[in-house]
Structure 1
């Protein structure tokens, strides 16, 4: 915002009756899986959906607003995020088990939903055990792994739009594609219903164990990482997956400062300890350049990069 005094007035008006927590200049780096990034100008943690809707109804459209979940698949740039950052927590983590599905709040971890499904004897959601992050982000990006994705199991999602309206959208209305959805601009996912199939609980639990073992074997799960860096190319573009293209371009183990392409799975970036967001994003661009030169394929980021570079901070 160009006028700090005006922004202060808008924030004061919008959050006058909130029940959640509002923190100015809140560090975001420690909240991300990469452990990098600057601060939020304002960090809002709403008490519940009603609290969030009320704030959005009063919040000026001029104020930038960003939704953050588990921050597992994101790089927050070193200059931080302008405006209001909304992060949902305990008030959005309820899970309701039904006969043929689960209703999960947006803050529920994907793995936790998979575990509840196993306990209830519901098959079809085991893939969630292999996806870092929360349900809100999973719906937004149509997260998938191990042969399934959100589009295959979602019945509906409830969202709050930028103007504070609560809406329920069915699967078709979300217009899912590969690692994307058609959520309205500025909308917040509040909860979702995921469909399951009754099955033997032990069989479901065993499948989850297999998913976790496969992930442990192939991915750098104990490192400061952020999930798959690049989307797999369309079949028309390349028959090879992103990691194969990266490997063929000689990028396995490539470094920029303390940012490194994982030796274990080269579609993962790692913070070895003191990397900056600029290091990680720059390394990703180095990889994209090398892959394009080697194969002619342009990789597209799957990890979201948000905020200002440090150089843009006044």
Structure 2
């Protein structure tokens, strides 16, 4: 077997059934003299992976502005056992859910968009709002008692997705995931920041583990534990740790834009710099808290490989060169 044939077979095995089907359709059209099908496919200008909770979905922005989610991502988003696009179609056409979709939405689901991603010849996808409408239909079916016990997980997942999309919508999530936000309108940053924050504070939940402060004490060469004026032994968390957290954990979230919003929502209330709540109590659970945790983990990793604060700062600047000048920082 020659190298070209081996390479072709390896590539074929790496493709999903939907991708192989799309490529076959383009090839068939070309054989019948309809080459314009291949050249006229709408093209993606941006692509990336949208993270919603623990689900990661391939998403795209087309040259005409449409935001698409890959067909197989629709099944993945709903936690279907099979991640293939056909599993999504089968589930949506079953009696309970299908009765709530409406004929127009059913036709859209049965006719996905064939387009050209940046890295493949062709693929199938759906307008991102289709996922939103499908979730709404699933919830309606659940509230109407039309789902079976085996479909309860669909209703639970649909509500999770709708909650995640509620603040600014699925389009904003895709724009961030694909980098399209960098070239779209001036409201992009404002919309993105809204995904991070909640006007009403949530109940306090521990977000920074003890290990985070242990590593800070190691970094600064300070004692891990300290004794209060009443004689109680507690973990050592001097005030400059709050400055560190503000500068290296919160500020990198959209290069200070999220921190500015948090300062307005949760201002200082006295000369000592105290605030009514912790900043993380104003972060949205499905988006803001997840971003905070990822940034905190980045910082903890850098602390673990640094011998002192100076080395940490050098490594941080190398890891996050885009952060730039962070100016003066008050306490969290």
**TM category, shorter:** under 0.3
Normalized per residue, the structure richer in strand is 1
Q: Give the structure with higher Rg (CA).
A: 2
Q: What TM-score do you get using the length of structure 1 for normalisation?
A: 0.26
Bigger share in helix: 2
TM-score by length of 2: 0.25
